[in-house]
Structure 1
């Protein structure tokens, strides 16, 4: 079954594209919007609606399989691709990608991704294109073979079809208290992210953040079922460095003291410091990890900024510069590279968090579920959007359906 035609459709992301540099510089919020001028090239405003572009592969049997090309919330930051522009992305697709896609044998799937995205002698395609087109190519293979995308990816990785769900991680956005209640009542495995992305949310020397962590732990005891002790995962967007210290020992000691305050939980701290480059981040995170391991066994550093592509992730793994790697799917590009990144982390004894962004779409989130299942991620993000219920529903239900379908075929 071959690919006969490629079509495009405008799509909406579930949240916003935000200028991280402007927010860190203190741009004031006005309701949901931010006031003032953007700082990152490509942004027209500090906060813009996230846009996506669907790419549809029309197959010989008339079926159309889709993928969504989209970028991350903090586009253009920490070495990431610029903010998403659907018109420019479609033009690049028509010039460079479509000639490779037309006539492909759909069942090949992962091999088609490798061929479509090869870039010897020319610039790599924008990662958003790899991301959306790989979703469509893997779905085409699943359709042609009459299996799930998870089975297509697992076979390509030399793994058996998955049989167990991946723990789900929910994020709160700015509704950081009501959202926590929702997560606890729904028994989420990992929570709450917290969106600690400003001086106000971090507080003087972290006081506001520390109080919030203690409140979340107390709330799990107040509302949770007996024995409910989820992993508590907070993304601080570099604010331990900005509001406390960038010195690795001081960062490790801050995190260890915080872990002591919540003895019933494992603590994840994502992006404690932004050191400005990949190499500086790797060197300093490796030092933080080494020191933290001497202080506590209940706290983990999660790498995010400057850990974007498969090559970045492999460099972090080689240096053991994190306890957990966020494989931020739109930043990685080709979903087969996400699978490879998850496998590399797990083989190294490092947690593999199949992440992504609130800015992407329901369709891309469902595709990521299959890759997380196939590659055996440690956890995956409930996405898209900043609403807890929506992301949990989309990701959780897709997992359940995929596993039920695989189990039915197995016997």
Structure 2
């Protein structure tokens, strides 16, 4: 077999793990930290430095290919896996995963994932493990086949070689105004995220949020290049529902009001409300989508919370319970499932946004680019971290390099033909 050894290396994520529940309940922010005691199990403080675990597959020719495991910023919330514990994950990977990896044909990506992630006598592996291991398996297949990771995905899923760039979405973190300016100057496709994760940022009846949306649109006109027309995408972390209630018509009314305040822009509103369970989320999001569509609104609903695994994504897509689904890669698990999730969204004519988290790494971000481009997702997240420059550079440059290689490959095939 092509994998002859497995090595592990502890690492850092690019941001922090945050206790969403206590932040949502009104924790006081002191510069970068939050004051108070954590609520979510596993957290020793409200904000914890993100950790990761790298897994290296030693191939028969001596090459080592890597993947990175981590969880998302708001671990333990919205039905997600608990806070990442490097020691526990390392022990599980060594005992359960490593022996399986030594017994697969690494040149076949999907088959390798299926065999390594089999349930057998164990429950499903933590999704962070699936995520990191599948990145390494995707890189192994690409190395063994002397091709790109994107081409492996295309081959395994019978997809044509992509030619279109995937729009990139940047997130601002708390440095909203400065990072909005950066995004506009760099002509980012989709912006700014906004991190509207507290009552203070949302405001009474959403007035603070509405003013921020208008400011972003105005700022885009003021300093953006001629003809620049980004999609405005705001993540409100359920605060529309928390502030004005969980009645779908009232939520739709508010979203229409926001969209009408920025004419000429497409408006994405992510996580308008959290209805407490996956099924409740599906039922109520489907109603909000239907109301907005009936009104001809330019606003689009994006689902995140309660839509984690591939099976969750399939349910939301089939129910048309969002205009756009965030395929949050560490929550989905296997990169093969991320590809499947994009394709199930497209099959149901629902937008596919390959997202992720600020807690990720350069390696996981680059692997996500290849899957996003191969499946021709509707947009992808600039990650890791909460700054604009680094994440936009990592994701944008990887996409540019990939498309240059694919164009060369296509030209060679045409020349031979």
Fold match (TM-score > 0.5): yes
Q: Deviations over 1:270-289 (max 9, x none)?
A: 00001111111111111111
Q: Deviations over 1:317-336 (max 9, x none)?
A: 11111000000000000000
Question: Which residue of 2 is the match for residue 290 of structure 1?
Answer: 290
Matches within 5 A, 1:224-373: 224-373=224-373
Instruction: Please give the alpha-carbon distance, in whole angstroms, between the structure 2 residues aligned to 1:396 and 1:133.
Output: 24
Instruction: Please give the alpha-carbon distance, in whole angstroms, between the structure 2 residues aligned to 1:324 and 1:129.
Output: 26
Q: Deviations over 1:89-144 (max 9, x none)?
A: 01111111111101432211221011110114530000000000000000000000
Contact 1:253 1:295 in 2 (8 A): no
SS for the counterpart of 1:221 is: helix
Q: Deviations over 1:186-222 (max 9, x none)?
A: 0000000000000000001000000000000001100
* TM-score, structure 2 as length reference: 0.97
Contact 2:172 2:193 in 1 (8 A): yes
Question: Which residue of 2 is the match for residue 391 of structure 1?
Answer: 391
Deviation at 1:30, TM superposition (A): 1.1
Contact 1:256 1:296 in 2 (8 A): no
Q: Deviations over 1:140-193 (max 9, x none)?
A: 000000100000011111101222210000010001111000000000000000
Question: Which residue of 2 is the match for residue 87 of structure 1?
Answer: 87
Question: Which residue of 1 is the match for residue 415 of structure 2?
Answer: none
Runs of 4+ in structure 1 off by over 3 angstroms are: none
Question: Which residue of 2 is the match for residue 156 of structure 1?
Answer: 156
Instruction: Please give the alpha-carbon distance, in whole angstroms, between the structure 2 residues aligned to 1:188 and 1:379.
Output: 11
Question: Which residue of 1 is the match for residue 9 of structure 2?
Answer: 9
1:48 is aligned to 2:48 = yes
Instruction: Please give the alpha-carbon distance, in whole angstroms, between the structure 2 residues aligned to 1:13 and 1:403.
Output: 27
Instruction: Please give the alpha-carbon distance, in whole angstroms, between the structure 2 residues aligned to 1:82 and 1:106.
Output: 30
SS for the counterpart of 1:10 is: strand
Deviation at 1:52, TM superposition (A): 0.1
Instruction: Please give the alpha-carbon distance, in whole angstroms, between the structure 2 residues aligned to 1:92 and 1:406.
Output: 37
Instruction: Please give the alpha-carbon distance, in whole angstroms, between the structure 2 residues aligned to 1:318 and 1:30.
Output: 43
Question: Which residue of 1 is the match for residue 191 of structure 2?
Answer: 191
Return 5+ residue gaps in structure 1 as ranges. Answer: none
Instruction: Please give the alpha-carbon distance, in whole angstroms, between the structure 2 residues aligned to 1:367 and 1:393.
Output: 14
Contact 2:11 2:51 in 1 (8 A): yes
Contact 1:151 1:162 in 2 (8 A): no
Instruction: Please give the alpha-carbon distance, in whole angstroms, between the structure 2 residues aligned to 1:372 and 1:120.
Output: 30
Task: Count residues with an aligned counterpart.
Answer: 411
Deviation at 1:368, TM superposition (A): 0.3
Question: Which residue of 2 is the match for residue 219 of structure 1?
Answer: 219
Contact 2:259 2:297 in 1 (8 A): no
Contact 2:104 2:115 in 1 (8 A): no
Instruction: Please give the alpha-carbon distance, in whole angstroms, between the structure 1 residues aligned to 2:144 and 2:306.
Output: 37
Deviation at 1:297, TM superposition (A): 3.4
SS for the counterpart of 1:106 is: coil
Q: Deviations over 1:58-117 (max 9, x none)?
A: 001000000000100000001100000010001111111111101432211221011110
Question: Which residue of 2 is the match for residue 181 of structure 1?
Answer: 181
Instruction: Please give the alpha-carbon distance, in whole angstroms, between the structure 1 residues aligned to 2:7 and 2:122.
Output: 24
Instruction: Please give the alpha-carbon distance, in whole angstroms, between the structure 1 residues aligned to 2:358 and 2:296.
Output: 31
Question: Which residue of 1 is the match for residue 414 of structure 2?
Answer: none
Question: Which residue of 2 is the match for residue 204 of structure 1?
Answer: 204
* TM-score, structure 1 as length reference: 0.99
Matches within 5 A, 1:77-156: 77-156=77-156
SS for the counterpart of 2:316 is: helix
